[in-house]
Amino acid sequence: MRKAEIVTAIVLAILSLYFMWKSGEPPAWNPDAGRFANVGIIDGEGPGSGFWPFCLSFVMFLSCCWIMVNWFRGTSAPSQSTEPFLDAYGRKMLLLVGGGLLGFLVMIEIAGFYGAIFLFMIYYMYVLGRHSVVQTLSIATALPVISFFFFDVAMRIVLPKGYMEPLFIPLYDIFL
C-alpha cells in the first residue's frame, strides 16, 4: 500500500502537469497564438479559455506534492500501511470482473447491447456466481427483453444492436 501511495501520487502529479500543458494549447485555427497565451487575464476579455483549467491543474499538482510530503513524513494512513495494495484475491477478482466488463464492452460492438447483456449475465451468474442454469437463463433472457421494451419501445432510445440488427427489424415493425 505504501509503495502504491507514492507511485499514484507521482502518476497524478504527471497527469496534472499534462493538464497544465494541455490547458495552454492554442486552438487549431490560430496556430500563431503562443502556448499559454490563453491562461492569463486578457484585457477587455477577462480570463482566457485556459485560465480556469490551468489554475486548477496547478492546484492539483500542488496537492500531489503535498501527498508526497505526507508520504515522506508518514502521516497519511496508506503511507503507514504494511498491507499489500491488492492481494491475490483482489488481483484475481479485478481480472475476472474488470475483464468481464471489458468483454461486455467489446461484445456490445459485435452482438449489440441486448446480446451482450445476455452473454454478460451468463458469464457473471453461471461462471462466477455458480447459479443454476434455469435461474441464469431466465434472468439473462428476461433482462434484455425488459430493456428492449423500456428503452427502444417506451423511451424511444435505440440501443446499438451490432450484427444482430436484422433480427430486430420485425420487432420494430410491430412495436415502433
Residues that bind other proteins (CB under 8 A): 1, 4-5, 8, 12, 19, 22-23, 25, 27-28, 38, 41, 45-53, 56-57, 59-60, 63-64, 66-67, 70, 76-78, 85-86, 89-90, 93-94, 97-98, 101-102, 104-105, 108-109, 113, 117, 120-121, 124-125, 128-131, 139, 143, 147, 150-151, 155-157, 159-160
The amino acid at residue 116 is: A
How far, in whole angstroms, is CA 18 from its chain's centroid?
19
Give the number of other CB atoms < 10 A from CB of residue 136: 19
Q: Which is nearer to other proteins, 57 or 168 (CB)?
A: 57
Task: State which H helix or E strand residue 157 sits in.
Answer: none
d(CA 143, CA 118): 8
Residue position matching grid coordinates 417506451? 154
Supply the minimum distance, in Å, between the C-beta of residue 173 and other proteins.
22
Supply the minimum distance, in Å, between the C-beta of residue 27 and other proteins.
4
Residue position matching grid coordinates 430493456? 147
Q: Which is nearer to other proteins, 5 or 168 (CB)?
A: 5
CA distance to 38, 109, 156, 173, per residue, from 161 (Å): 43, 8, 14, 16
Supply the minimum distance, in Å, between the C-beta of residue 163 and other proteins.
15
Supply the minimum distance, in Å, between the C-beta of residue 55 and other proteins.
9
Which cell goes with 99? 475483464
Q: Which is nearer to other proteins, 90 or 167 (CB)?
A: 90
